[in-house]
Structure formats: structure tokens, C-alpha cells
Amino acid sequence: MTKYTFKQKDFKVFSVEGLENRMQALDEQVRPQLNALGERYSNYLTEQTGDTFYYHVAKHARRTVNPPKDTWVAFATNQRGYKMLPHFQIGLFESQLFIMFGVMHENKNKGHMADFLNKNIHLLESLPSDYSLCFDHYNIDKSPIDSLSQEDLKHHIKRLKDVKKAEFFVARTLDPKSEVLNSDKSFTAYLDETFNELIKFYS
């Protein structure tokens, strides 16, 4: 029996109609893995960075009508929340699993990340070809880094600093049918590899 990975049927919870029914499906099929991943990778990130990380599984508590189209576990150095800090995420849409590191627009110090990226743009350019950038965490669409010029990267970094609502995440994604998800062993190895790349952007 697997503990961490997601089966194709787990991604189908986002096609369940109605808020209450979808939340029940998330609770039964997806949250156990998110909690297990939260425990494993909060410890992992703490060991790798020397900072104490806490995990936060999405509750979707503010929703009263529209069911969520994605869900996630986030990792940050604040026990009470993560949106105001640079943070890591593991999450799912119906057609995508994502692993990300970056900042949301709620982060009042996101200019610090922009400054870091400007000074270390080579870190973005040297990422493997299956990494992408996400500029809106609500949106499934992501831009492959190898499709962006250095001028494109600088534009998005500048926007992160200058535009209040701007966000910036370095991401890696999997298709629900990926063989990586066939076992906990292959999935956690993939996550370890991904976090080792994303940690380079944590400062």
C-alpha cells in the first residue's frame, strides 16, 4: 500500500460535482497523502536548510459555493501560515501534479526574491528542461524556462518587484499518468531531486 503517491483516480476528485461532495472526496482520497508528504518534507527541508519548516495542508475553508479546482500542501518557516513567506508547495490540479517554490502577492518582501533572482539569473537558466515558471498560483498554465529568453526572465523578475499582485514560482510538473507516480519510491526520489533544485532559490 502506498503512502505518498497519487493514483490517477485521485486526480479525478476535481471532477466531482458540488462543494460538499468534492471536499469529502479530497478528505478521503488526497489529504492523507498531503499530510504524509507534509511530515516527510517539512523534516527534509529543515534538515537541508537548517531552518525549521512547518507544513500547511490546504483547508479551502473560505469556499461556500465553488468547489476547489486544486489542492496542495505548503511548506514555510512560520507555523501559523505560509502566504506571507517564500514557500514550497506540492499540489494537484485534475491534469497536473506540481512542485513549486516562490512567493505569492501576499508576501510584502517579495522584492527580496526579485533581487536574488536578478543576481542569480544563471540559476534559472541552468535548470533542467522540465522546469517552468508560474506567475499565478491559481492558474494551471506554466511557462517552460527553456522557452524564455534572458530578457523574458528579467521582465518577469522586474514585474515581481514592481507589481503588487505579481507572483513568481519556479515549478516542476507531472502528468497524472507519469510512471513516476507508480510507487512511493519513485515519487519520493523525484521529489527529493526536485527540492534539491528548488532549495537553490531559498535564501
The 10s digit of each residue's pLDDT in 12-64 is 999 999 999 999 999 999 999 999 999 999 999 999 999 999 999 998 877 77
Q: Are the beta carbons of 39 and 56 closer than 8 angstroms?
A: no
Give the pTM: 0.95
Which pLDDT score, from 0 to 100, does residue 66 have?
86
Q: Are strands 143-144 and 96-103 parallel, antiparallel or unpaired?
A: unpaired
Q: Are the beta carbons of 103 and 176 closer than 8 angstroms?
A: no
| Lookup result for grid cell 502528468 | 175
pLDDT tens-place string over residues 107-132: 999 999 999 999 999 999 999 999 99
User: Does the structure show a pLDDT above 80 at 137?
Assistant: yes
